[in-house]
Amino acid sequence: MMIAPAVWLAVVYGTFLLLIAFALDLAARQTSGRASGRRSGAFTYHAAHDAWVCPEDQWLWPHSFDPEHRVMRYRATPAVCNACPVKDTCTTSEAGREITRTVDPWPASEAERFHRGIACTLALLSTLWPLATALPPERTWTERAILAAAVLLLAAGGLPLWSHLRRTTAGFPAGVRSEVRADVKVETLDTTVTTAAIAAAREARRRTGYRSDHGARRSRP
């Protein structure tokens, strides 16, 4: 029995759409990872301690959690950071270098979920194409069986995208309750910036008010 070319075309096209869906999802995930890597630079995150280590082997500990942007902020000790010989290549802040980490699993942000939504849409279209091809009355039972099997396989292939998206819905505080330590304060970005500015001003006053004991001794009669 001859199988109409349209049937094989629908199967091949549906498979192609599903592959494109996974390719787009993978590309979006890698782009997100590279962006996170650029923000952290050469700093290394240690999950066991929930802290970062800079290239000069200094630790950045959790400082605050921002519920609006859903990120944990880590900050170095200002006195250590300001005395660092390579500070000029790292930060200009007097309050210490700060690094952020998204606490939600990918996809968490609106942009990430948008790209996952596109992938899910393509996965859905991959099943609709062979399904629509099976509807015309001229299709034989054999052709319909082939198309039905293709629909089931394509739906099973795209299901991980949908189920993972459903399981990673963002929501504070339930979504991050286990991520936020009891000793870490919760504050918005504006509060964090204000706190950092106050700390920087305090550190600048401390440094500009410093006077060497050697100079004081030399000035004595």
Q: Cis link prior to 173 (omega < 30° from 0)?
A: yes
CA distances from 48 to 59, 62, 171 (A): 13, 13, 24
| pLDDT bracket for residue 1 (50, 70, 90) | low
Mean pLDDT of all residues belonging to the chain: 78
Which region holds residue 113: left if phi is over 0, alpha if psi is between -120 and 50, else beta?
alpha
- How far apart CA 147 and CA 151 sit, in angstroms, is 6
* Under 8 Å between Cβ of 25 and 114: no
CB contact set of 148 (below 8 Å; sequence gap of 6+): 134
Q: What is the pLDDT of residue 113?
A: 81
At residue 221, the pLDDT reads 43
pLDDT of residue 176: 44
Mean pLDDT along residues 203-220: 47
Extract the tokens encoding 192.
Answer: 């964090």
Show the tokens assigned to 21: 């869906």
**Which residues are CB-contacts of 102 (< 8 A; sequence separation ≥ 6)?**
36, 70, 71, 108, 109
What pLDDT, on the 0 to 100 scale, is given for residue 197?
Answer: 63
Question: pLDDT per residue over 121-138, tens digit each?
Answer: 999 999 999 999 999 998
Percent of the chain with pLDDT over 90: 29
> Which residues have C-beta within 8 Å of that of residue 60, sequence separation ≥ 6?
43, 51, 52, 53, 54, 74, 75, 76, 96, 97, 98, 99
pLDDT confidence tier of residue 210, bands split at 50, 70 and 90? very low
Average pLDDT over residues 56-74: 84
Contacts of 197 (CB under 8 A, 6+ apart): 95
**d(Cα 70, Cα 100) in Å, to the nearest integer?**
10
Q: Which two tokens stand for residue 213?
A: 């004991």
- The pTM score is 0.60
pLDDT at 212: 40
Mean pLDDT for the stretch of residues 167-192: 54
Percent of the chain scored above 70 by pLDDT? 73
